[in-house]
Amino acid sequence: MKRVLLVPSVRRGNGSGHLVRCLSLARELGPGARVYVSRGSEGASWSAAEITLAFPGAADDIVLDKLGADERFDLVLLDRRDTSAEELETWLHRGPVVALDEGGAARRAAPYLVDALPLPPARRTEPGPNLSSRGYLDLPVHRRQAAKSARKALLAFGGEDPAGLGPKLARFLVERGFFEPSRLTLVSGALSRPGASRETIPEGIAVLGPVQNLKEHLSSWDLVFTSFGLTAFEASWAGCLVAVLDPSAYHAALSREAGFPSIGTREPETKALSALLEDLPAFAEASARPAPPSRESLAEALGSLQSKASGRCPACSSPSRSDIERFPDRSYFRCRGCGLLYMEGFADRPGRYGKDYFFEEYRAQYGRTYLEDWPVLTALAAERLDRIDRLVPAAAGKGRKLLDVGCAYGAFVSEASRREWESYGLDLAGDAVAHVRDTLRLPAMVADFQDPLIDDLVPDGLDCVSMWYVVEHFSELGAVLERAARLLSPGGVLALSTPSGSGISARKDRRAFLAASPYDHLSVWEPERAARLLARFGFRVELVRSTGHHPERFPGAREGDPGWIRSLRGTASRFFRLGDTFEIYARRLAPKGTAT
């Protein structure tokens, strides 16, 4: 059972739409879902007791006003409209956060974004949300044929109506002769001040108390007057004529963005309403436009998300970040602390580095299996060891020790051993490690380099730690780099290769590059930022080598281009380090004050 905590805005004056949506979602998500009501300052927010009384049946047993100090959830949904960065960090301690229709500072840093409602241009950000659809709104089942008259009208201004728009509009409609009182119905919201509506509206208008599940009754009316919010979309979907009277310029901007016909902001406008009623076909067409083409289940979309997103950089643990790209299954962020580009995933996908990867999958990618590719891999290992040998030359009477993290079937440790390195292998794939031990007769173990026990399982005082296309897989990157520095002797070398986030493919179309990035690549390294990142862990970069050059991927490149043009692109790719992969060789510096 997935535990989901839903946190709506319950601040007085923000209306009841956020709360109503969370209550409905909690019921759909099942018994593990709860709605948390923040206490806030005295009188500033609706209390759990008030909400339970206002929504009998809908709020029973699912509304909380207390949380355990260390209580965590599988997912935390924020439906708060305007969440600060500080508030977001608080909720991230409770679990992976999904922000719904978020317009505050948290929009750029929330692990996952869902937009069901439009945002005004001033609050929209690039990239867009992970998911976006008006179909995620809790739309009514009951619908009607598009209204062709405006005989019966409903005035519904939410559960609170803090601006008193319902009574104000009721008086306006009767006093200006638009409607007879008997053709109007005013709904009093569940959180509105008791008796306020009846004190100020013209006699003859029907006043209904709070209506449970109001959306299913909207189709009984021809015309619904409301303000921007859930009721406006529900009425549009139900087939009613819809006219909005908004309480603020902010809500008016939202209504314009959604396309609702407006009759004013704060005060109803005679001219605007007259124009709508004089051309009912055009009014009906405009009223229907904001409705989505179909219904979609937000509860199902949320229920499918699986994540361990912490909201922190895997290298330096900073929570300060900005989103770079978002997709339905993942989000990419730029850390403002160390500059790392990293990913937080929301899909449940198994690891892909079992036996099949080194055989069937490897053959599909390279045309032969890993073992069939042995001569090429050995030649590549020899080139890399040439560079390492220059950085850590052999000394008379002293052996050199090397640990290859992610050793696979052992091409690199085998070549290192041939050069008289005391080499060790480590990998998650049991079949690969068995090959290294049993066939190559070299020491290797099945283990995760992120496991703290590694400190006791592998020798320290190493002269080289290598990670060939491994470092991008670590969720605890900072701990990995600290461990590598701890295991290396001062002067030892960390050697790694990884895809480049600033190669030609990423520069040409970063979104397409990240969309195609394997789901288990949790960090995206860039040559120009690597030195700054590694320096945090006591390394000095000695060499960066751009690899994986693909001149054919340059913009405008065509198969029939002359050879000299292709050659020029290749030269430019190497000179500007535009390869889609790169290698780093970084030296472990001695701690300050230590003799070298």
Q: Which of 116-125, 204-213, 378-387 has the lowest mean pLDDT?
A: 116-125
Task: Check if the beta carbon of residue 524 is closer than 8 Å to that of residue 342.
Answer: yes
Nearest 5 degrees, angle CA 496-CA 499-CA 501?
Answer: 120
Give 108's Cβ-side CA count (13 Å radius): 16
- Identify the pLDDT of residue 6: 95
Q: 4-136 and 355-408+446-588 share one CATH topology? A: yes
pLDDT above 90 (res 11): no
Tell which wins on pLDDT, 327 or 82: 327
Helix%, strand%, coil% for the chain, nearest 5: 35, 20, 45
pLDDT, tens only, 160-193: 788 899 999 999 999 999 999 999 999 987 666 5
Return mean pLDDT, the chain: 90
pLDDT in tens, 25-58: 999 999 999 999 876 544 567 777 777 766 766 6
Looking at residue 4, what is its pLDDT? 97
Phi/psi at 499 (5° precision): -60, 150
For 302-328, what is the mean pLDDT? 95
Q: What is the pLDDT of residues 254-304, one digit of tens each?
A: 999 999 999 999 999 999 999 999 999 999 999 999 999 999 999 999 999
Q: What is the rounded average pLDDT of the residues 297-313? A: 95
Would you place residue 447 in the very low, low, confident or very high pLDDT band (cuts 50, 70, 90)? very high
For the domain spanning 4-136, the CATH number is 3.40.50
Return the pLDDT at 560.
84
User: Quick one: average pLDDT of 412-437?
Assistant: 96
User: For residue range 87-137, what is the model confidence (pLDDT) as tens digits?
Assistant: 999 999 999 999 999 999 999 999 999 999 988 777 777 899 999 999 999
Instruction: Indicate if the pLDDT at residue 231 is higher than 70.
Output: yes
Residue 182 is encoded by which pair of tokens? 């008997």
Look at residue 41 in the predicted model and tell me its pLDDT.
46
Q: Quick check: 585 pLDDT over 80?
A: yes
Distance CA 570, CA 430 (A): 39
Least confident range of 113-122, 329-338, 527-536 = 113-122
The confidence score (pLDDT) of residue 197 equals 46
Reference 339, options 357, 362, 316, 356; nearest CA is 316
Torsion of CA 571, 577, 579, 582, to 10 degrees: 130
Q: Which CATH number fits domain 355-408+446-588: 3.40.50.150, 2.120.10.60, 3.40.109.10, 3.30.565.10?
A: 3.40.50.150
Q: What pTM does this model have?
A: 0.90
What are the tens digits of pLDDT across the range 276-290? Answer: 999 999 999 999 999
Give the start-to-end residue ranges of the domains of the chain: 4-136, 153-288, 355-408+446-588
Partners of residue 586 on adjacent β-strands: 494, 541
Higher pLDDT, 176 or 15: 176
Angular region, 158: left φ>0, alpha ψ -120 to 50, beta rest: left
Q: What is the pLDDT of residue 63?
A: 85
Looking at CATH, the fold of the domain delimited by 153-288 is given as Rossmann fold (3.40.50)
The whole-number pLDDT of residue 352 equals 60
